[in-house]
Structure 1
Amino acid sequence: MARDADINEPTREFPGYPTGDDLKERSAAKPEPTTHTPDDSVPPRPGGGGPARGLLVLLGAAALAVVVLLGVQATGFLPDFRNPFAKEQTDRSQPPLLKSIQDLSRYVAAEGNFQVVVDTQNDRRNVPDFLLNERTLFVGAGSVEAYVDFAKIGEGAVVESADGKSVEIKLPAPQFGETNLDLEKSYVFAEQRGLLNRIGDLVGNDPNRQQQVYQLAEERITAAARDSGLAARAEANTRKMLEGLLRSLGYEQVTVTYVAP
């Protein structure tokens, strides 16, 4: 079988290896710019939307809705709308218990209003104040009543003259009522406590500590009432009241004296 003349020729040509000149030409050539199309596989940039942005939009819409509802309620279009964030207070106190009733025959003739500054300090010897110290500056305001107890008027205390124109009355001396400390006008002006005292308050606070200051203020006010002219004012007011009352009944002369109870 005869073979073709070009039987020994290659059926295809292999690309030749690049030489040094070819490499220089390729490096000198400028690469053409390439454009990328957005792809779903590319992750979104942080802060550029997503769930966080949707949550902010939702919160803003809810706040705007609350403001609009409150404004509509203020205009009177929705009178039955109730504020869901309104403050509520629940009172679980027990009903008052009546323990006793006492009949009084007192004539309150005068009342004194007092103010006292209580400065107490409790510390320990040889211990620095910043460690163990309790100092309270308390301003207490209270009132004391001076009264005459008509229930203690005994037999023979009222003596009328033969002609019925004069009368003499013997009354018990005025007494002082209990000191009424006004908690609305009383307040702690300053308080200093050491480090150990503050730590003790965290473990277990003493509820009677403030009560002791109140009691001391009441004692000071009571002593001040006794040293004041409140008793003399009560005597004068009671005498004036009885003189006016008995003279309206026809007595021309009224004598009021006080005796020790």
Structure 2
Amino acid sequence: MRIAGRIASVIAAITLVFVAIVGTAGFLDIKNPFRTRSIDRSQPALLKSIQDISQFHAAVGNFEVVLDYEQDVDWVPSFIAGERSLFVAAGTVNAYVDFSGLTAGDLRLSEDGKSVEIRLPAAELDEPNLDQDRTYLFSQDRGVVNRVGDALSTDDQQELYQLAEQKLVSAAEESVLTQQAEKNTRAMLVGLFDSLEIQVTFAEGALKE
């Protein structure tokens, strides 16, 4: 008992000294010797490959969605088992035109070189890009069983992220994003050929995949 008491006294004394040093450093505005430091020992990023692209990214849509997602258990009250999440997701979807499928027949230059007819492929949508700074779990209500399970495992929000990406894609498909991309692509080509003093016309009907 005496040994245990002495150890407790030593620990208490060390703690008091530590608190006193930290408090004195803050009061006197001097450097705290016990300050917390962040050390980054990560290896530098390595370039694995470079991929050539033939896409003109012509428009970007900014989207935001609030998911109200519930996992319900049949015949069990929600306060016992189940989960309901409010998840705020924001991100962008790019619309692009891929020129890689163009052939000689899709770009016809007149004999005098003063006009050209182009048949463009239809615009496509790229994968959504979630903005991590604006995407977050706003609130979450869990039943007792779920809370116990969370205490034994790491919380995984992957399903919410995947659902948010699907919502962004659906919103982009229902928007005028691809039409705007095609309009912007035509404007870019008109400006490009105008600088060469070549008049541009566009053939009706997009290229087939």
TM-score band, normalised by shorter chain: 0.7 to 0.9
Match of 1:41 in 2: none
Match of 2:91 in 1: 142
Following superposition, the deviation at residue 67 of structure 1 comes to: 5.1
- Equivalent residues in 2 for 1:98-247 (5 A)? 98-207=47-156, 210-247=157-194
Whether 1:84 and 2:33 are equivalent positions in the alignment is yes
- Residue identity opposite 1:236 in structure 2: K
Tell me, yes or no, if the aligned pair for 2:22 and 2:34 is still in contact at 8 Å. Answer: no
Counterpart Cα distance in 2 of 1:201 and 1:61: 39
Match of 2:202 in 1: 256
Following superposition, the deviation at residue 98 of structure 1 comes to: 3.6
Following superposition, the deviation at residue 159 of structure 1 comes to: 0.5
Match of 1:35 in 2: none
- Residue identity opposite 2:124 in structure 1: Q
Tell me, yes or no, if the aligned pair for 2:85 and 2:140 is still in contact at 8 Å. Answer: yes
Larger Rg: 1
Counterpart Cα distance in 2 of 1:216 and 1:85: 44
Following superposition, the deviation at residue 102 of structure 1 comes to: 1.1
So what's the TM-score if we normalise by structure 2? 0.82
Structure 2 gaps, min length 5: 1-12
Which structure shows the bigger proportion of residues in helix conformation? 2
Tell me, yes or no, if the aligned pair for 2:57 and 2:96 is still in contact at 8 Å. Answer: yes
- In structure 2, the CA distance between the partners of 1:134 and 1:169, relative to structure 1 (3 Å rule), is same
Counterpart Cα distance in 2 of 1:62 and 1:172: 70
Counterpart Cα distance in 2 of 1:259 and 1:198: 54
Structure 1 gaps, min length 5: 1-54, 74-81
- In structure 2, the CA distance between the partners of 1:164 and 1:68, relative to structure 1 (3 Å rule), is closer
1:39-58, Cα deviation, whole Å (9 max, x unpaired): xxxxxxxxxxxxxxxx8xx9
So what's the TM-score if we normalise by structure 1? 0.67
Tell me, yes or no, if the aligned pair for 2:26 and 2:32 is still in contact at 8 Å. Answer: no
- Residue identity opposite 1:241 in structure 2: M
Please say which of residues 163-172 and 179-188 is displaced more in the overlay.
Answer: 163-172
Identity percentage over the alignment? 49
Instruction: Kindly report the root-mean-square deviation, in angstroms, between the aligned alpha carbons of the 2 structures.
Output: 2.3
Counterpart Cα distance in 2 of 1:206 and 1:62: 38
- Secondary structure of 2:120's counterpart equals strand
Following superposition, the deviation at residue 93 of structure 1 comes to: 2.7
